[in-house]
A and B are shown apart, each in its own frame.
Chain A
Amino acid sequence: MKRVNKNRIKKDPPIKQVKQENKQTALSGGGYNDKVIAYRDLHIHALFSSLGRMIATPFSSIMTIAVLAIAISLATGFYVVVANIHQLTGSLETSNQISLFLREDVSDTHAKKVVENIRANQSVQSVKLITKEQALEEFKEYSGFGDAINTIKKNPLPIVLQVLPKNALDEKQGLDDLLKSFKQLPEVDFAQLDLQWVDRLQAIIDVAQLFASLLNILLAAAVLFIIGNTVRLEFYSRRAEVVISKLVGATNAFIRRPFLYTGFWMGFISGVSAWFIVTILMLILRSSVERLSGLYDGAMHLLFLDFAETLFLITASSLLGVLGAWAVLYCELRSAKSQ
């Protein structure tokens, strides 16, 4: 062990007035302004030192954040899928159109007469006639079976009348009555209220939405647990520091602070990464979705996360990080107390 020169220890005039200073300084430091600045500095220091600590252990940080980012992007992905399908029904919901499929033996001229009759009906706003030929053209264009159709000699498609009822008939009863009256027409083979399948689709989407919400809750819980566990491990690896800080008078808030920032960073970085993952996946899907959409008259545009949703995603994941860290520290500090 190294010998220390005794002269280096100052022998020197005792500090006077210890007592007067004691009372104040033992409990508080400096003026109010200084305290505020010191407090702000503490936060800034904790913010960057916890980021520094994560960078110092890149592999474990990256692995944890990768798991978190995947969980968050799964949740976000479900949300985006549901939002996109929802937009699809949004444009359909207004169409309470009735399709009348006429009997095969009804000729085009006869069909025109039927159209005139229906137009005379007070509840009807407009009627569109789709002849067999038009139907065939449309089918060839969109079904992709164009060549196959060409080999069929006889056109199998019926004449269709698309009837758009007046808005006043939004109530289901009115629509049903109208539908019944059409069904009784001798020329009509089959009458279908398009709203029915919109309703069914809507119900399916409601189920999907609820499922996505439940899944998101599970994934949020997973994020909470992963961050909580990571923070707990860090808390144990820095136990000496915690004990020493406590001995020199650190409050629980002071001890918690750097860990809360660790939780914040993990949530924040995972949220940002999840945004990138989801956006990249959507860019990959875009051309396929647009081709699909083209086949359906361009009914659907791929919706990306907008600014508010992105902000929500990042805020929510950051908050989950802080919450996960806080919950774990609360338990750890409580059990440390009782030891």
Chain B
Amino acid sequence: MTMIDFSNVTKRYEETGDVLRNVSFELEKGEMAFLTGHSGAGKSTLLRLIAAMERCSRGQIIVDGEDLSLAKESQLPFIRRKMGFIYQDYKLLHDRTVFDNVALPLIIAGYGHQEVSRRVRASLEKVGLQGKEKKYPLALSGGEQQRVGIARAVVNKPPIIIADEPTGNLDPDLSAEIMNLFRQFQQVGVTILIATHDISLISQMNNRVLKLDHGQLVQS
């Protein structure tokens, strides 16, 4: 079953021209792939398109059966709930506790109090951060903050995880741990797309690699 399906996707900006040109690929359920390429090759744009933060200029993007270009603005939040996003800068809320950060997607989805509590604890345990619920993100190390970000991304049990340079700020050991987590999610059927230019990481993992060069997919 195809979870992410790009066909002939072009994204054009008035100022910079085509950032992505005729990009086509498919990611199956339970597949883990790397998205790589030089800076400015269009990785971030591609991720923003999947996240439906922007719409493509031409082509079609289907995420878990939903056509993003046809979806109404009001439907996009519900499509985004099918995806967990992980960022290089973690994107945590510094004025909220670890618990509240991880709980955010559940609260947005309207889960009851007990369910939120149960799932947040399970998710934090999964990434090895049990007992840190009441801490604030800035009191944690970089690796721990990244794991809070991962706990938040998976707390809603989304079928897709999108990670943008998830190991960019971490040393090799921590990176390996994070990758290990991803592999566990992959094993239970989650589709994972990781944007990175960490070549050594990619070579260790032996996964499918999508390579962008000046907006075009040169390897997939």
Q: Which chain A residues have a beta carbon within 8 Å of chain B's beta carbons?
A: 1-4, 6, 8-11, 14-16, 18-19, 21-22, 25-30, 34-35, 37-39, 41-42, 240-241, 243-252, 254, 337
Minimum C-beta distance from B176 to chain A (A) = 9
In chain B between 26 and 84, which residues have their CB closer than 8 angstroms to a CB of chain A?
29, 51, 53, 73-74, 77-78, 80-82
Q: CB distance A4 to B128 under 8 Å? A: yes
Question: Least Cβ distance of A27 to chain B in Å?
Answer: 6
Known: A25-B156, A39-B110. A10 touches B125 (CB 8 A): yes
State whether A251 touches B82 (Cβ < 8 A): no
Chain B interfacial residues counted at CB < 8 A: 52
Contact A247 B81 (CB under 8 A): no
Is there an interface contact between A18 and B157, defined as CB atoms closer than 8 Å?
yes
Residue of A nearest to B82 (CB): A26
Chain A residue numbers with a CB within 8 Å of B29 are 19
Residues 124-154 of B, flagged 1 when their CB comes within 8 A of A and 0 if not, give: 0111110000000000011110010000100
- Most A Cβ at <10 Å: residue of B74, B78, B110, B157: B110
Contacts of B107 in A (CB 8 A): 38, 42
Contact A18–B126 (Cβ < 8 Å): no
> Are the C-beta atoms of B177 and A18 separated by less than 8 Å?
no
Out of B104, B115, B159, B190, name the residue touching A244 (CB < 8 Å). Answer: B104
Contact B177 A4 (CB under 8 A): yes
Which residues of chain B are near A245, meaning CB under 8 Å?
Answer: 104, 108
The B87-126 residues at the A interface (CB cut-off 8 A) are 91-93, 104-113, 115, 125-126
Which of B112, B141, B184 is in CB contact (< 8 Å) with A37?
A: B112
Nearest-CB residue, chain B, relative to A249: B81
Q: State whether the Cβ of B14 lies closer than 8 Å to any Cβ in chain A.
A: no
Residue in contact with A248 in the complex, picked from B85, B181, B187, CB distance below 8 Å: B85
- A sample of 5 inter-chain contacts (CB < 8 A) reads A1-B143, A8-B129, A35-B112, A244-B104, A249-B156
A residues within 8 A CB of B144?
2, 4
A337 touching B93, Cβ below 8 Å: no
Instruction: Give the docked Cα–Cα distance between A37 and B115 (Å).
Output: 12
Chain A proximity of B86: nearest CB distance (Å): 10
> Is the beta-carbon distance between A10 and B80 smaller than 8 angstroms?
no
Whether the Cβ atoms of A38 and B177 lie closer than 8 Å is no
A27–B143 contact, CB under 8 A? no
B82 neighbours in A (Cβ, 8 Å):
22, 26-27
Judge whether A34 and B115 touch: CB under 8 Å: yes
Closest 10 CB pairs of A and B: A29-B111, A34-B112, A249-B81, A2-B141, A8-B128, A9-B128, A249-B80, A248-B105, A251-B77, A14-B188
Given A27-B82, A35-B110, A251-B77, output 6 extra A-B contacts at Cβ < 8 Å.
A4-B143, A9-B180, A30-B111, A246-B77, A247-B51, A251-B74
B contact residues around A2 at 8 Å (CB): 141, 143-144
In the complex, how many angstroms separate the beta carbon of A261 from the nearest chain B beta carbon?
Answer: 16
